[in-house]
Amino acid sequence: GNSVTQMEGPVTLSEEAFLTINCTYTATGYPSLFWYVQYPGEGLQLLLKATKADDKGSNKGFEATYRKETTSFHLEKGSVQVSDSAVYFCALSDRWSNQGGKLIFGQGTELSVKP
Amino acid sequence: GAGVSQSPSNKVTEKGKDVELRCDPISGHTALYWYRQSLGQGLEFLIYFQGNSAPDKSGLPSDRFSAERTGGSVSTLTIQRTQQEDSAVYLCASSLGGGRSDTQYFGPGTRLTVL
């Protein structure tokens, strides 16, 4: 079945450090891939997405490239800020699913950025 | 504009009682999803509504769980005879359509605690 695996947290970085959160997936069809973020005390919100192979999603300085050959969608940011502290979820939505855009989530990675 | 709203924000109940959780999606969104976020299971899909079609209930964990969507808008998730393992945050999301690449907008969630 479809699944998403992301690196375990928590990840602790100093401000301005480089961030990578690894995400790999297993899917039977041609999924769309997403990164959602959950800031402390807030709801889930979309950070970025990519809908086909080699697409790059980007937002707020974060980037992720849809790599079909390695079934990966790693999240990167060149210089993190304290305000980036949150839990990050990688997710997929499978084109062939009869459940519409049902999202399958990874387990989440908590990021803590220290000043 | 208004986002997805959910009520109540917190619900504490006793084992064996029934509970109802409400979701108001973004106006004009035809697709509505329920997910559950718990420490042990992460984020899980529960049920999907698309327009006037029959809902996809394949993610509901037991027959104690049911949901309806009235008039293609408001949705209610009902849990009968609650058990302690039902304790979780219940999230509702809506999207413009039900496509695999559509962005889902999440509500703040209802935190359910079963004593």
pLDDT band for position B97 (50/70/90)? confident
Q: In B1-115, which ranges are E strands? A: 5-7, 10-13, 19-24, 31-38, 42-50, 65-69, 75-79, 88-95, 105-106, 110-114
Q: Which of B43, B50, B53, B102 to mutate to test the interface with A (most CBs of A within 10 A)?
A: B43
A49 or A102: whose pLDDT is higher? A49
Through-space distance between the first and last CA atoms of chain B, rounded to whole angstroms:
37
Residue B72: the pLDDT is 78
Positive or negative: CA dihedral B49, B55, B58, B63? positive
Closest residue in B to A32 (Cα–Cα):
B101
Asked whether the predicted pLDDT for residue A100 surpasses 80, the reply is no
Q: How many Cα atoms occupy the beta-carbon half-sphere of A25 within 13 Å? A: 29
Alpha-carbon gap, residue A115 to B34, rounded angstroms: 37
Beta bridge partners of A59: A62
Contact A105 B109 (CB under 8 A): no
pLDDT exceeds cutoff 80 at B98: no
Whether A107 and chain B come into contact, CB under 8 Å, resolves to yes
Q: Mean pLDDT throughout B52-75?
A: 91
Cβ–Cβ contacts within 10 Å for residue B23, how many?
Answer: 27
Task: List the helix and strand counts (H, then E) for chain B.
Answer: 0, 10
Q: How far is B14 from chain A (nearest CA, A)?
A: 25
Confidence of residue A53 (pLDDT cuts 50, 70, 90): very high
Sorting pLDDT into bands at 50, 70 and 90, what band is B34? very high
Closest CA to A37 of A114, A113, A90, A79: A90
d(Cα B7, Cα B20) in Å, to the nearest integer? 9
Distance separating alpha carbons of residues A4 and A80, to the nearest angstrom: 24
